[in-house]
Amino acid sequence: MNRASFFSPQAGRVIDAPLQTWARFAIGDVVRHKHHDFRGVVFDIDPVFANSEEWYQSIPAEMRPNREQPYYHLLAENEDSSYIAYVSQQNLTVDAEGGPVDHPSLSQIFEAFSDGRYQLRRGMTH
């Protein structure tokens, strides 16, 4: 399989990744965690795990997801707070609520909520 490398600021190192990865979700999609009670909006996608080793090892071994899958950066919310989450593809599902997310950083990245997803602000794309 052909591979490429990219620098991950979260990991502080170069990450080796496949040239092609199949992300189930797209930037602007509203998703929900399968095991924890929170939902969020995808604002970035890593083709493989690209966070720190300390973060990865902090996940209990019996629940630790495979590194070789997409990982999503989310503007997340639960009943108590808003925060940034980093979640493996295997732990996400489409949000059945279908409504907007109430995160204070949404307006910095996204425009209006329409048809169940957020539109990226003009000028935010590569």
Query: How far, in Å, are 34, 41, 93 from residue 60 at the CA level?
Result: 16, 25, 21
Write down the mean pLDDT value for the chain.
90
Mean pLDDT value of segment 36-49: 95
Average pLDDT over every residue of 71-91: 97
Fold of 3-120: SH3 type barrels. (2.30.30)
pTM of the entire predicted model? 0.86
Read off the pLDDT band of 77 (50, 70, 90). Answer: very high
Residue spans per domain, the chain: 3-120
In the predicted model, what is the mean pLDDT of residues 58-63? Answer: 92
